[in-house]
Amino acid sequence: MLAVRTGRKMLVTTGAFLAVGALVTGCTAEAGNTNTQPTNASVEGNQAEGDTVVIGFSGPAADHGWLGAINSAAIATAENYPDIDLRVAEGTNDANLQISQVEQFINDGVDAIVLLPTDGAALTPVATQAMEAGIPVINVDREFSSPFAARTTILGDNYGMGVSAGTYICEQLEGNDDAVVAEIAGIDSLPLTQDRSQGFADALESCGLDVDNRVAADFTVQGGEAATSQLLSAAPEIDAIWNHDDDQGIGVLAAIDNAGRDEFFMVGGAGSANAMREIQSGESVLQATVIYPATQAADGILLARLIAQGKAMSDLVEVEVPKRIVLNAPVVTSENVDQYLPTAFES
């Protein structure tokens, strides 16, 4: 067990001492101290091998291309660091099973836990229990319902995805005030879907457009095809479509091909490799996709290492890892697809 692990109160106190230490170091440097030894916030100190960190990782079942990429990226990243001992729990969509996995991590005395909860609210109590035991928890993608449940939260930007998709569509339809815009959402009961739809609606409103036709699928190929068939039957003319998810987008494109429709362009979501290849071909209605990073758990692994070793992010002046990190949601088009395709996930 690393000495750096402490309870919440001690973590706060440690942060205060680190901040004071940084001020003292700064004052000393100004006085002419020429000591250039790497610190825990420098690139060298950040990357330097430290005490072995035992990290427990638990996520949902990889029954979706994006989730598969989440898991594989986390494992591959850990393998690059000889001071990371990664313990991977079997992926599950059962909240109760995931709770028991986290309880096992606590009993095993791991140094940090990276957790992509199948249900953020349901996993909040056991994550809080880990934090109270002095084990920092890095919350990935689906937020807990209490700020006390995680040391650091790293998220994709669901609202920002909607804003990016809507802004791109506004730019492409500029001057067409009567344009018909459609939306193919994911699972409507999920907060992430609601956030994506809200961001989309807000962006469209800024250019005088709105969502004229909307259906919800379920993030599966079959669901995407069925929902799109319904949408196309109800809307004889469409100018632009935003589909929230590139995995279900395989079914969306199949339904569009079956219907023989091509009067519109489409924007995808998440950033799968197959979607990017469609964009690259120039022969598809799919003209762009919005990234929802599949690196979140991998980033969480690296943040867990830094936190457990008492290190910081080398590109920040701050001497501790931030409490909350939200990743960007860029738009991928034919102009920049070559930049993003090498790291895209396969659906």
Output the 3-class SS for 46-109. Answer: HHCCCCCEEEEEECCCCCCHHHHHHHHHHHHHHHCCCCEEEEECCCCCCHHHHHHHHHHHHHHC
How far apart, in Å, are the Cα atoms of 291 and each of 5, 58, 79, 231, 260? 34, 23, 25, 24, 28
* pLDDT score recorded for residue 39: 64
Q: Which of 281, 285, 262 is nearest to 273 (CA)?
A: 281
Model's pTM, two decimal places? 0.83
Q: Give yes or no for a contact between 113 and 135, defined as CB atoms under 8 angstroms apart.
A: yes
Q: Give yes or no for a contact between 137 and 150, defined as CB atoms under 8 angstroms apart.
A: yes
* pLDDT score recorded for residue 190: 87
The CATH code belonging to domain 8-155+295-316 is 3.40.50.2300
Range 229-236, long-range pairs (CB < 8 A, 24+ positions):
229/255, 229/258, 229/259, 231/182, 231/184, 232/256, 232/259, 232/261, 235/180, 235/182
* pLDDT score recorded for residue 2: 53
Per-residue pLDDT of the chain (347 residues; tens, 9 = 90+): 454 443 433 333 334 333 333 333 333 333 334 344 456 667 787 788 899 999 999 998 988 889 999 999 999 999 999 999 999 999 999 999 999 999 999 999 999 999 999 999 999 999 999 999 999 999 999 999 999 999 999 999 999 999 999 999 999 999 999 999 999 999 998 889 999 999 999 999 999 999 999 999 999 999 999 999 999 999 999 999 999 999 999 999 999 999 999 999 999 999 999 999 999 999 999 999 999 999 999 999 999 999 999 999 988 888 899 999 999 999 999 999 999 999 899 88
Four-point Cα dihedral 23, 24, 27, 33, nearest 10:
-130
Local structure of 280: helix, strand or coil: helix
How far apart, in Å, are the Cα atoms of 263 and each of 81, 278, 305? 50, 17, 50
* pLDDT score recorded for residue 24: 33
Please tell me the distance from the alpha carbon of residue 328 to that of residue 14, in angstroms, as a whole number.
30
| Encoded tokens for 183 | 């939306």
Token pair 């909240």 is at which residue?
95
* pLDDT score recorded for residue 8: 37
Q: Give yes or no for a contact between 206 and 170, defined as CB atoms under 8 angstroms apart.
A: yes
Structural element, H or E, at residue 287: strand 286-291
Q: Give yes or no for a contact between 192 and 229, defined as CB atoms under 8 angstroms apart.
A: no
- Residues paired with 114 in a beta bridge: 57, 138
Same fold, 8-155+295-316 and 158-292+330-343: yes
Q: Give yes or no for a contact between 250 and 239, defined as CB atoms under 8 angstroms apart.
A: no
Distance of CA 299 to the CA centre of its chain: 9
The CATH code belonging to domain 158-292+330-343 is 3.40.50.2300
* pLDDT score recorded for residue 195: 97
Local structure of 212: helix, strand or coil: strand
Four-point Cα dihedral 202, 206, 207, 213, nearest 10:
20
Please tell me the distance from the alpha carbon of residue 138 to that of residue 77, in angstroms, as a whole number.
15
Domain ranges for the chain: 8-155+295-316, 158-292+330-343
* pLDDT score recorded for residue 277: 97
